[in-house]
Amino acid sequence: MALTIITLIVAGGALLGFLARFHHKMDLEQWTVAGRGFGLILVWLLMAGEIYTTFTFLGASGWAYSKGGPVLYVIGYVPLAYIVSFYILPPIWEVGRKFHLQTQADFFETRYGNKYLAGFVALIGVVCLIPYVQIQLTGLGIIAEVASFGAIHRTPAMVIGFTIVAAFVSVSGVRGVAWVAVVKDILLLFAAVFIGLAVPRIYYGGVGGMFSALAHANPRHLVMPGETANLGHGWYITTLILMALGFYMWPQWFGAAFTAKNGDTLRRNAIVMPLYAVTMPLVVFIGFAAVLVLPGLKNGDLSMLMMVRKTFPAWFLGLVGGAGALTAMIPAAMQLLTGATLYSKNLFKPMFAPHMTDQQVGSLARIMVLVLTLGALVLAVYTSVTLMGLLLMCFAGVTQLFPGVVLGLFSKRVTTAGVFSGMVAGIALSVALMVSGRDPYHGMAAGFIGFCLNVVVTGVVTACTRVTVSGFEEVDVPVPAFSIQPTSM
């Protein structure tokens, strides 16, 4: 029963994805940014589809179950990220409209006039997006395995699900993602609100009773560092800052922002988006509730679905599983589209085939959707990092783009050499700390330490380099930096 309902929901969502291309010629502009014509509702659904992923559905409850108190950072960073988006996405959209940008790397190349910097940004985006797609793949496999009571192994479920995703992304582009997001968001909101309130009430008499029981049985679980040895208040604060600043540095956000019909749409989106964030604490509640109801789970990421399976009938598990499956597929679709476009347009074309037409770039991007899907699938099958752990590693990389984006928008002084050097230094230090097992380092998130070095290096190198004026016209928003061109490295 559960598996049948999941199959029907996924099939219906996929059909919507294929139908979205009708009456639209899928050239590169339509495929990547939907002709820049989305209004508030579609932008809201598209961006919500990217924010509330399998990480929200399974990873947040998994950390609440296995780590305890440190999971509370997921409730804090999202509202701060919306504030950042209010100020940076509208000028990014204006620059995109004026210069016909389609990717994040396009922004860097237009602002700094250096194809190697743009290629490096594209490389960062692709490298960080593959593990993000892996998160969605892993989540989809978990959902199928739990909903089928072990009858279907997660690997074939991942293969089938992401074959469908790759197919409708290749056919319908970002428009297909937005259409399917409508179904996904309705189901996710219903599932999160209902389960998040019902589960604590069924087992503990309410949310207050749940926290009282957990505090009595295991007082340390609800406070820092919870069930961990080193994720204390310093880690919490630095991770909060890192993720709030890096949230909209993911390359898919640039593509999503470029789909809007005007900058005001993005400002309104930043105002209403926090309404969707009500799902996050409710999902965390489920993980906390499972601590005493389902003790001893080896994988905390299973806690949400195992609680649903234990508490509700099979048809309801199918409904929740279907919502979860779409929650995996929609973000992955946008991430695959973005990663494929970055590789084709900003890495392969400028470095190896500068005379490629947009049609040829689009054809290569569709092929790369399949390649990136395969890469993420291999990682999902052969690695066992938790969903939350993967996300934190990826954020350490993409946040290093923040100085280049913000200073590029609002500063005439920042140079190509400064931004390039800062990125390399920040990423190198972050990776070195994480690979050596020093995350957190002296109580602080490794990515945050790398980000601080990035800012210092960007400032020092910029101070030592000269800026020259270029022929760029100023855009009709406070983005003065687009009237200048720094010297190349």
Structure-token match 């056919």, residue found: 171
**Conformation bin of residue 300: beta by default, left when phi > 0, alpha when psi is -120 to 50:** alpha
CATH, residue 212? 1.20.1730.10
Q: What H or E segment, with its residue span, contains residue 486?
A: strand 484-486
Tell me, what DSSP letter sits at residue 401? G
Q: Give the torsion sign (CA, 127, 131, 134, 135).
A: negative
- Is 451 inside any structural domain? no
Q: What H or E segment, with its residue span, contains residue 469?
A: strand 467-469
- Is 44 inside any structural domain? yes
* Residue 467 pLDDT exceeds 90: no
- Is 164 inside any structural domain? yes
Angle at Cα 294 formed by Cα 282 and Cα 61, nearest 5°?
A: 30
Least confident of 49-58, 342-351, 422-431: 49-58
Convert the pLDDT of each residue in 10-52 to its tens digit: 888 777 766 755 555 555 555 555 556 566 666 766 676 566 6
CA distance linking residue 20 with residue 205, whole number of Å: 45
- 88: its two tokens: 């940076």
- Is 460 inside any structural domain? no
Strand partners, 468: 485
* Residue 136 pLDDT exceeds 90: no
| Residue 85 domain boundaries | 2-402
- Is 438 inside any structural domain? no
Comparing C-alpha atoms, which of 59, 22, 16 is closest to residue 392?
Answer: 59
Rounded to two decimals, the pTM is 0.85
- Is 434 inside any structural domain? no
- Is 425 inside any structural domain? no
Structure confidence at residue 109 (pLDDT): 92
CA distance linking residue 114 with residue 470, whole number of Å: 13
- Is 88 inside any structural domain? yes
Given a contact cutoff of 8 angstroms between Cβ atoms, the answer to whether 102 and 118 are in contact is: no
Q: How does the average pLDDT of the chain come out, rounded? A: 83
Convert the pLDDT of each residue in 357-401 to its tens digit: 888 888 898 888 888 888 888 888 777 666 667 778 889 999 999
Q: How many separate domains does the chain show?
A: 1
Structure-token match 């929609």, residue found: 330
CA distances from 142 to 137, 192, 297, 380, 440 (A): 9, 17, 14, 11, 28
Convert the pLDDT of each residue in 228-261 to its tens digit: 989 999 999 999 999 999 999 999 888 888 888 8
DSSP result, 35-78: GG-B-HHHHHHHHHHHHS-HIIIIIHHHHHHHT-GGGGHHHHHH
CA distance linking residue 325 with residue 18, whole number of Å: 17
Comparing C-alpha atoms, which of 11, 310, 319, 3 is closest to residue 144?
Answer: 3
